[in-house]
C-alpha cells in the first residue's frame, strides 16, 4: 500500500529565505510522486512531478524536488521565498498501474515579511 508523510503541518520562513517542505513516501513499487499547491477555496495546482526520469525535478514558480530512493523522500525546496508562496502544499504518491493518488496531510507555508 502506498502512503505519504509530510513532516510539519505548519512551516514559517522569512521572505527571501530557503523553503524546505518535507515528504516521505512508502510504496511497494517504484512510485510516481507529486507536489501540489492549494490556495484558499481553490483546487490544487501541480507544482511538479516525478515519474521515474530525472531524480531532480524542476517545477513552476521556482520550486524543485529531489527523489531520493535510499531515504524514501521527495522534499520540496525553493531557494528564496516570496510572499505569494504562502499556501497549503500537498505531497502525493501513486504506484505504477494504480491510478489513485494518495495525499499527505498537507503543510501550511507562511511567509514572514
Partner 1 sequence: GAVVSQHPSWVICKSGTSVKIECRSLDFQATTMFWYRQFPKQSLMLMATSNEGSKATYEQGVEKDKFLINHASLTLSTLTVTSAHPEDSSFYICSARGQSGYGYTFGSGTRLTVV
Residue with cell 516521505: 24
97 binds partner 1 (CB under 8 A): no
- Report the residue from 36, 67, 74, 89 that binds partner 1 according to the rule CB under 8 A: 36
12 binds partner 1 (CB under 8 A): no
55 binds partner 1 (CB under 8 A): no
- Report the residue from 7, 17, 44, 86 that binds partner 1 according to the rule CB under 8 A: 44
105 binds partner 1 (CB under 8 A): yes
Which residues of the chain form beta strands (DSSP E)? 3-5, 10-14, 19-21, 24-26, 31-38, 44-50, 56-58, 64-68, 73-78, 87-95, 102-103, 107-112
100 binds partner 1 (CB under 8 A): yes
In a 3-state reduction of DSSP, which class is residue 60?
helix
Size of residue set near partner 1 by CB under 8 A: 21
Between CA 11 and CA 102 the distance in angstroms is 22
- Binding footprint of partner 1 on the chain (CB under 8 A): 32, 34, 36, 41-46, 49, 51, 90, 94, 99-101, 103-106, 108
Amino acid at each position: 500500500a502506498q502512503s505519504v508523510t509530510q513532516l510539519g503541518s505548519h512551516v514559517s520562513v522569512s521572505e527571501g529565505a530557503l523553503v524546505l517542505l518535507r515528504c516521505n513516501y512508502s510504496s511497494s513499487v517504484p512510485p510516481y510522486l507529486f507536489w501540489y499547491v492549494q490556495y484558499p477555496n481553490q483546487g490544487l495546482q501541480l507544482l511538479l512531478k516525478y515519474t521515474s526520469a530525472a531524480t531532480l525535478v524542476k517545477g513552476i514558480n521556482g520550486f524543485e524536488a529531489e527523489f531520493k530512493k535510499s531515504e524514501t523522500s521527495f522534499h520540496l525546496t525553493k531557494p528564496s521565498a516570496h510572499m505569494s508562496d504562502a499556501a497549503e502544499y500537498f505531497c502525493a504518491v501513486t504506484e505504477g498501474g494504480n491510478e489513485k493518488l494518495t495525499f499527505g496531510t498537507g503543510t501550511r507555508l507562511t511567509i514572514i515579511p
